[in-house]
């Protein structure tokens, strides 16, 4: 039996997620209702990471991936500080309408004092969002995210 995983942060990048969990298979864009996308979880590197906050008036675009249940422990190790939760997402159908899918994702109750991601992290999220052809309005929202240079990456592009 395969599981579905909803990515909304750096794991939107197919390359990043497949480097972490090689057996994962991208399915495509999905929409999570009742949540707001924020970048406020403190990362080990001192920058902010993507997170979900319950909000009945908002939604989050991301991507669904299929993975083997045995790989969840591997993904859990990468998602330190997050809690794995079950959610329901809507996946657009060709033509009109959508289908509802059950999936797993991660969110955290940890909040940082400096909610600004590093430039490379923001770029990875944007690249992944483009890979999954997320809606233009969502891309614009991600592009407006403030960022700062990673002091360990000075001069690296």
CATH code of residue 109: 3.10.490.10
* pLDDT score at 74: 94
pLDDT at res. 101: 94
Distance (Å, rounded) from C-alpha 61 to C-alpha 29? Answer: 7
* Cβ neighbours for 14, distance < 8 A, ≥ 6 positions apart: 26, 128, 131
Residue 104 included in any domain: yes
Q: Which residue has the tokens 């590093």?
A: 118
In eight-state DSSP terms, residue 74 is H
Residue 45: per-residue pLDDT: 87
**CA 73/CA 70 separation, integer angstroms:** 7
Task: Select from 45, 60, 44, 47 the least CA-distant residue to 107.
Answer: 60
Cα 100–142–156 angle (5° rounding)? 125
Q: Is residue 139 part of a domain?
A: yes
pLDDT of residue 114: 74
Ranges of residues in the chain whose predicted pLDDT is under 50: 156-157
Specify the DSSP class assigned to residue 148: B
pLDDT of residue 155: 54
What is the C-alpha to C-alpha distance for residues 90 and 133, in angstroms, rounded to an integer? 15
User: What is the model's pLDDT at position 153?
Assistant: 79
Q: How far apart are CA 150 and CA 108, in angstroms?
A: 23
3-state SS, residue 31 = strand
Q: Which residue has the tokens 């052809």?
A: 133
- Percent residues over pLDDT 90 in the chain: 82
Does a structural domain hold residue 113?
Answer: yes
pLDDT digits (tens, 9 = 90+) for 75-94: 999 999 999 999 999 998 77
User: Does a structural domain hold residue 157?
Assistant: no
Number of separate domains in the chain: 1
Q: Which domain holds residue 106?
A: 3-152
């Amino acid at each position: 039996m395969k599981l579905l995983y909803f990515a909304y942060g750096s794991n939107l990048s197919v390359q990043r997620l497949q480097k972490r969990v090689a057996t994962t298979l991208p399915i495509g864009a999905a929409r999570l209702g009742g949540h707001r996308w924020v970048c406020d979880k403190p990362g080990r590197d001192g920058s902010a990471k993507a997170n979900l906050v319950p909000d009945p008036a908002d939604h989050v675009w991301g991507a669904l991936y299929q993975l083997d249940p045995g790989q969840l422990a591997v993904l859990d190790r990468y998602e330190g500080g997050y809690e794995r939760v079950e959610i329901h997402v809507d996946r657009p159908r060709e033509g009109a309408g959508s289908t509802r899918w059950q999936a797993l994702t991660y969110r955290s109750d940890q909040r940082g004092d400096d909610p600004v991601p590093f430039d490379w992290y923001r770029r990875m999220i944007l690249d992944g969002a483009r890979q999954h052809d997320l809606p233009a309005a969502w891309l614009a929202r991600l592009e407006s995210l403030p960022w700062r240079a990673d002091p360990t990456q000075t001069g690296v592009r």
